Structure 1
Amino acid sequence: MPTPELLHLRALSAVAEWASFRRAALAMNVSPSALSQAVRTLEQSLGVPLLQRTTRSVAPTEAGKQLLAELRPLLAGLDAAMANVGQFQTEVRGTLRLNLPRSAASLWLEPLLGGFLRAHPGIHLEVSSQDAMADIVPGGFDAGVRFPEALPRDMVAIPVGPMQRFTVVATPSVARTQGEPLVPDDLLARPCIRQRFPSGALYHWQFRKAEVVRTLNVNGPLTVDDQRLALGAALGGVGWAYVYEAMAAADVKSGNLVQALADWCPPEPGFQLYYPDRRQVSPALRAFIDWLKAAQSKH
């Protein structure tokens, strides 16, 4: 029996892990057809089917399960050995794929891009900014960024960036005409710019003062799915918007917008970077984490 090639064994492991030729091909940066051919070659060399394929799914056969049970620790050990040798390189190379909401991309990541990529010219950073919660493992991402309450439980998470605070803003004209809200419930009688989650649910505005918490389903003439659209609409005089304070800071400072209910909007924990704890952290992700820690220690 010929000795299987390492590439064929990695192909089998990847397809079994992702339960999809397409997603496994994306993770390995090869074509699905090339991945399928590698698995077929391995099956032919061993003389047994290793994957059971249907039009909707792919799963290991009994022979495939037995092989994978012994193969995965060996591949993990090989990856660890290669990573240890890679530490002697003067320059980290590879692709780093991140998934994060649009707000985190603009408020947190955007100011960091230039510094990180200048520090690591061998890394290619690919960013997917989307507000819909993505499963980063099937999606082929190395890591994601979310607020703590939205994190999957089986992930390693580290805080990144400062505390975040929401604010209620409108133009001075709207504040004069409609009257500035003094307590959160005053907003129920004022035009507000609502926001809808990718799931279809409307976002309820949240306020907290000492032990009192208010969650409001506001009303208004406009519903958007992006905070920058909400901010732009507020600048256009549509009504009151509920956005990140950092996003509105320049317009508040210039006088284009006024803030309300500041004492009802305390700072909250900021974004967190998360990644699977069951997989080897890639050198590119490790370099990103180390760079973030170093950058944060300077502030």
Structure 2
Amino acid sequence: MHRTGLTELEVVLAVAHRKSFRAAARELGMSATAVSNAVAGLEARLQTRLFHRSTRSVALTEAGQRYVDRIAPALAELRRAAEEIKAAPEQPAGTLRINAPPEAVSLLFDPLLRHYLARFPHMRLDISSQSKMVDIIAEGFDAGIRLAEAVPQDMIAVPLTDDARMLIVGSPGYFAKHGKPQTPDDLTRHQGIGMRLSHGGVYQWELEHHQQKFTVSMTNRVVFSEMRSIRQAARCGFGLAFVSEWFIREDLASGRLISVLEPWCPSFGGLRLYYSGRRHVPAGLKAFIDLARELRCAQTAP
């Protein structure tokens, strides 16, 4: 019986990820012909078509999707095994792949990511910034970063930040023109700056005070899908924004933004690094976890 080569499996995963034979070839450092031949050879031995092909697109067949779902975790384990063998225990080496929302990456760049690369010069970070949740095991990631409430229950979670609050903020110029809301009901008479969620809907503001909950459907003058644009729009006086205090601390301190209705603004669990506990923790991930805990202890030390 012919043994399926690891190179062929890597090729299949690369084509499935890139949805292009040429892009997969560039990623793997192979010729497009070699990639095409590897896929064709594997399909012949499996007697199953793995990809639908046209002159403009490449997509997995149903059987191909099932195959990729099964081999991706196994190949990820093989890569980690090779990297751990090459890495000395005191000096990890290899690539640490993390999936995280874009805002989390910018928030954690300094100090965590910068310190990690400085302390472990033989490690590389491969961070995929995605708003939507993904299955980190099936997609071949070592770990993910999400808010505490979004971490899957079967994962081990490590706190990266303290809890924070969502705050309703506006610019001094906006409040000078429109006044400040005194109650949640007043918000319906104000212009909002909306947040587009990954599933396509617009986030509804959720307020709470003394166990009394209030959901606000704002009339949004403008809607964005990422926090930096929302913050900039609030600074420019486009309307009121409902944003995490993580991203606006300097604006609040300088007076560029002013918060209102703070008693109604709830706190939420902070960012968590999460990973599967069903396997040996790779040296690079363990070093990342240890550094995150070290930095949090330093922040909370008197």
Q: Which interval holds the TM-score relative to the shorter structure?
A: 0.7 to 0.9
How do 1:249-264 residues align onto structure 2 when only pairs under 5 Å count? 249-264=249-264
Shift of 1:33: 7.5
One-letter code of the match for 1:133? M
Matched, 1:222 2:222: yes
SS in 1 for 2:267: coil
Task: Judge conservation of contact 2:101–2:146 (CA < 8 Å) in 1.
Answer: yes
Shift of 1:217: 1.4
**Hey, what does 1:22 align to over in structure 2?**
16
Counterparts of 1:203 and 1:110 in 2: how far apart (Å)?
28
Map Cα deviations across residues 233-288 of structure 1 (whole Å, 9 max, x no partner).
11111111111112111111111211101111233210111223444432221211
Counterparts of 1:77 and 1:127 in 2: how far apart (Å)?
20
TM-score (norm 2): 0.75
Counterparts of 1:280 and 1:178 in 2: how far apart (Å)?
57
Task: Judge conservation of contact 1:164–1:269 (CA < 8 Å) in 2.
Answer: yes
Matched, 1:147 2:151: no
**Hey, what does 1:136 align to over in structure 2?**
136
Deviates more, 1:103-112 or 1:166-175: 103-112
Matched, 1:53 2:49: yes
Shift of 1:181: 1.4
**Hey, what does 1:184 align to over in structure 2?**
184
Q: How many residues align?
A: 275
Shift of 1:162: 1.3
TM-score (norm 1): 0.76
Map Cα deviations across residues 33-89 of structure 1 (whole Å, 9 max, x no partner).
878877988x8xxxx9457433333759xxx9xxx9xxx7xx979976984x66744
**Hey, what does 1:171 align to over in structure 2?**
171
Map Cα deviations across residues 89-147 of structure 1 (whole Å, 9 max, x no partner).
44211111212112211223443222111110111112222323233334332211111
One-letter code of the match for 2:251? D
Counterparts of 2:219 and 2:235 in 1: how far apart (Å)?
18
SS in 2 for 1:221: strand
Task: Judge conservation of contact 2:80–2:282 (CA < 8 Å) in 1.
Answer: no
Counterparts of 2:47 and 2:155 in 1: how far apart (Å)?
28
The root-mean-square deviation of aligned C-alpha atoms, in Å, is: 3.6
**Hey, what does 2:266 align to over in structure 1?**
266
Shift of 1:207: 1.3
Counterparts of 1:278 and 1:36 in 2: how far apart (Å)?
35
Gaps of 5+ in 1: none
> Kindly, what percent of the aligned residue pairs are identical?
32
One-letter code of the match for 2:49? R
Counterparts of 1:280 and 1:49 in 2: how far apart (Å)?
33
Gaps of 5+ in 2: 53-59
Counterparts of 2:88 and 2:136 in 1: how far apart (Å)?
29
SS in 1 for 2:248: helix
**Hey, what does 1:117 align to over in structure 2?**
117
Shift of 1:200: 0.9
